[in-house]
Amino acid sequence: MPIRRRDFLKLSGAAALLPWPRLSRAADVASLYDLPRFGNARILHMTDTHAQLKPVYFREPSVNIGIGAMAGQPPHLVAKAFLARFGISPDSAEAYAFTCVDFEKSAPRFGRLGGFAHLKTLIDRLRGDVGEKGAMLLDGGDLWQGTGQANEAHGADMVEAANLLGIEAMTGHWEFTYGEAALRDNLARFKGEFLAQNVFLTEEAAFNDAKAFDPASGRVFKPAMIKEIGGHRVAVIGQAFPYVPIAHPKRFTPDWTFGIHDAELQKLVQGMRDYDRVDAVILLSHNGMDVDLKLASRVTGIDIILGGHTHDAVPQPIPVKNAAGTTLVTNAGSNGKFLGVLDLELAKGKVGGVRYRLLPVFSELLKPDPAMATLIERTREPHGAWFDKIATSDRLLYRRGNFSGPMDQLICDALRSGLDAEIALSPGFRWGTTALSGDALTMEDVLAETAVTYPETYVQGMTGADIKAVLEDVCDNLFNPDPYYQQGGDMVRTGGLSYACTPTESTGRRISELRLDDGAPLEANKRYKVAGWASVNAQAGKPVWDVLANYLRSGKAAPTRGSGVTLKGVDGNPGIAQPT
Amino acid sequence: MNFSIEKFSATRRLVLQGTGAVALFGLGGLAAPPARAAANDKYPEEAFKLKTDKDAIQALYGRTAEASDKVKLDAPEIAENGAVVPISVTTTLENVTSISFLVTGNPNALAASYAIPEGTVPGVANRLKMQQTSNVIAIVDAGGKLYSATKEVKVTVGGCGG
């Protein structure tokens, strides 16, 4: 791709304030990935790849509002405010990777990001730079879910890819939605460790002698491991997504109870410091960044939290002070777009120095690893029918954003049209890839937005009061001023229903001015026909991907429209992109 | 074998905790000789009928509680199932005679009250039914004074996790 390579070369000069070495003007653009030696231990961190084995387009959000103490703080910065905070030049490849700025202009120039064959090349190179004994590769979870093939294989394809990539430890979130049997099958084949300090047997399950890593504590999985890197002992503690049985159907994990459990975590950290004599403690977390920032202020003795879940690509670690020192908190984006590189200067019982880089994985700059490319092709091979074009995108289609995105508008339109409903509700997931205007859309693309183990659609009668209660409930998960009461994810998307939202209000008072498409106010006591999918209650309707595919095939997609959400009380919040 | 001892103790703990959301007042009294049971060891029917936490505490103890960090209340931030929310209390306070739980958002705030016989480790774990997101209050009666700890527990319809 000579044109794109030239783009990288041309832009390198403007990238003066990057947190990594400026792109070289010399012939070898890949010098982006030439890191000067630092320290004696290198920890590579990937997270929330959502099973995207092939490179993807993924537009970062233009709305990611923080309120209260979180207002204007990372990760709640978007677009130009983000670039200014991290010193990234607007017209750069990095601006394209980290923000939504000029996305449509930049996507064709800089190409797709991620892809496991490209990741493998980069990981091997970064490991090779420091030698096998000086590095470790960790995955923060949401590795097994996000594509049609991963969903069909219950993540088995991703275990193969993880083994070839050399992942040494991971924790989980969507992994749990395949249920215990599939999860254990996968873990039996996984060569690394699955770590989770915060998953316990329910009391009933413990009473019935359900399988646990440690029956005394009730911990279902190994909570932590110690690895010697660069001659020093590094503890890695796993923190799974704390709200699995709430955010997903409880039937997938009936025997397990989750939660944050920072008191248990504190005991674990203290034990590893006091008895295991570790030199560094890393928390491999799927809490989400706001939760990790709060946790870092309460739990002492953790050197670095390598975070995920909220899909925030944050170029620099955020230092958080606590009673015993400072903990660094990172979040490494999603969809394989980024690889976190944590270089540590380890000494006896302490971390002497830290260098962190969040490297965008530009697929144009990395030669795909042949073995991984072969594995990927082999796992894709049985799904040939999914790669046929079913429609051409007439607009930019993306999902990520607090309230709405064109992809979810399309899903809501498909639900209303296909299931003959006045109102549609669609979950505010943060995964799902981006398609450019003019791109061919395939079943693979449809599944990349919808592949979950509970895809069944439903149509039900709901009163206006019921609908408002749902919106308020989800909105509190997003904007509760205390991050421990947030679940991550974005606002439920609505079709056929517009509303105003005041994120700074208290629980139950954020949503107002609910109106149907025709402008009529939503009436509290009137019943409406509502369609949706991904309900935590068991449903029997056809899978949402068929509803969406049929709608796309019909060629009658409704034209794109505004978000239908009027924001109040957040003027000037840097978590909202300002018009250029 | 360590394993079997652990299993035994886990089972024992379960039995002691009891099940369900019912008020288990008087459980402690069963374990102790009647002569040493607390003076207020009568089923507090009136207190369980009252709507608000303030009224229930007043009816139960005739005093008001002060917040104390010596009362450790362990409750989830977000309940996995509002019908059975695991909530426990331990305390380093001495001479504990009673531990009670109140859920401010329930129709009747008082959820459970335990008499703690002399010489008993003051720790109670139980599961409470919660109608809606609200505060859970733990009251500890120790040395004739009332202490409390409060935590908000969210009861959510769920779904939509990233």
Model confidence pLDDT, tens digit, residues A287-345 = 999 999 999 999 999 999 999 999 999 999 999 999 999 999 999 999 999 999 999 99
The token pair at A358 is 């969040």
pLDDT for A580 equals: 58
pLDDT for A24 equals: 35
> Other CB atoms closer than 10 Å to residue B92's CB: what's the count?
12
Q: What is the pLDDT of residues B135-162, one digit of tens each?
A: 999 999 999 999 999 999 999 876 554 4
A263 to chain B, any CB pair closer than 8 A? The answer is yes
Beta pairing, strands B85-91 & B123-128: antiparallel
At A561, the amino acid letter reads: R
The token pair at A464 is 């206006």
Asked whether residue B32 carries a pLDDT value surpassing 50, the answer given is no
The token pair at A487 is 């679940």
> Other CB atoms closer than 10 Å to residue B2's CB: what's the count?
8
Share of chain A above pLDDT 90, in %: 91
Higher pLDDT residue, B39 or A119? A119
3 state SS of A76: coil
Q: To the nearest whole number, what is the mean pLDDT of chain A?
A: 93
Q: What is the pLDDT of residues A260-282, one digit of tens each?
A: 999 999 999 999 999 999 999 99
pLDDT for A363 equals: 96
Asked whether residue B36 carries a pLDDT value surpassing 60, the answer given is no
pLDDT for B13 equals: 41
Region A124-135: mean pLDDT is 95
Asked whether residue A12 carries a pLDDT value surpassing 70, the answer given is no
- Which stretch of A27-36, A356-365, A507-516 has the lowest confidence by average pLDDT? A27-36
Higher pLDDT residue, A230 or A575? A575
Q: Which CATH class is domain A385-567?
A: alpha beta
Decide: A406 and A560 in contact? Cβ < 8 Å.
yes
Instruction: Name the residue of chain A whose CA is nearest to B17's CA.
Output: A203
The length of chain B, given as a count of residues: 162
Are B161 and A173 in contact (CB < 8 Å)? yes
Chain B positions in Cβ-Cβ contact with residue A311 (cut-off 8 Å):
162
**Which candidate from B6, B14, B159 shows the least CB-CB separation from A203?**
B14
Q: Where are the domains of chain A?
A: 35-56+112-375, 385-567
Please state, in angstroms and rounded to a whole number, the distance separating the CA atoms of residues A122 and A128.
10
Banded pLDDT at B93 (limits 50, 70, 90): very high
Are A257 and B160 in contact (CB < 8 Å)? no
Q: Identify the residue whose tokens are 């982006």.
A: A32
Banded pLDDT at B38 (limits 50, 70, 90): very low
Region A240-267: mean pLDDT is 96
ipTM of the complex model? 0.85
| H/E segment holding residue A448 | helix A443-450
Determine the distance in angstroms separating the CA of A315 from the nearest CA of chain B, rounded to an integer: 21
pLDDT for A173 equals: 98
Determine the distance in angstroms separating the CA of B61 from the nearest CA of chain A, rounded to an integer: 31
pLDDT for B156 equals: 87
Those residues of chain B whose CB sits closer than 8 Å to some CB in chain A are 3, 6-7, 10-11, 14, 17, 74, 76-81, 86, 133, 152, 154, 156-162
Q: Say how far residue B44 (Cα) sits from the centre of its chain.
A: 15
Backbone angles phi, psi at A237, to 5 degrees: -105, 135
Are B159 and A247 in contact (CB < 8 Å)? yes
Cα A90–Cα A569–Cα A246 angle in degrees, nearest 5: 85
Check the CA dihedral B117-B123-B127-B131 and report its sign.
positive
Asked whether residue B113 carries a pLDDT value surpassing 50, the answer given is yes
For residues A320-334, one letter each, b for 16 or more C-beta atoms within 10 angstroms of the residue's C-beta and e for the rest, the string is beeeeeebbbbbbbb
Asked whether residue B83 carries a pLDDT value surpassing 60, the answer given is yes
Residue A353 pairs in a beta bridge with A345
Longest dimension (CA), chain B: 57
Asked whether residue B44 carries a pLDDT value surpassing 80, the answer given is yes
Q: Using alpha carbons, list the distances in angstroms from residue A207 to A105, A255, B12, B84.
A: 59, 11, 10, 16
- Which stretch of A14-23, A198-207, A459-468 has the lowest confidence by average pLDDT? A14-23
| H/E segment holding residue A357 | strand A350-360
**CATH architecture of the domain formed by A35-56+112-375:** 4-Layer Sandwich (3.60)
Region B45-56: mean pLDDT is 95
- Which stretch of A289-293, A387-391, B28-32, B49-53 has the lowest confidence by average pLDDT? B28-32
Burial of A26 (0-12, 13-18, 19+ CB in 10 A): exposed
Q: What is the pLDDT of residues A352-382, one digit of tens each?
A: 999 999 999 999 999 999 999 999 999 999 9
Decide: A435 and A57 in contact? Cβ < 8 Å.
yes
Region A255-261: mean pLDDT is 97
Region B90-111: mean pLDDT is 97
Determine the distance in angstroms separating the CA of A291 from the nearest CA of chain B, rounded to an integer: 12
SS (H, E, C) A188-224: HHCCCEEECCCCEECHHHHHCCCCCCECCCCECCECE
| H/E segment holding residue B90 | strand B85-91
**Which candidate from A311, A470, A492 shows the least CB-CB separation from B162?**
A311
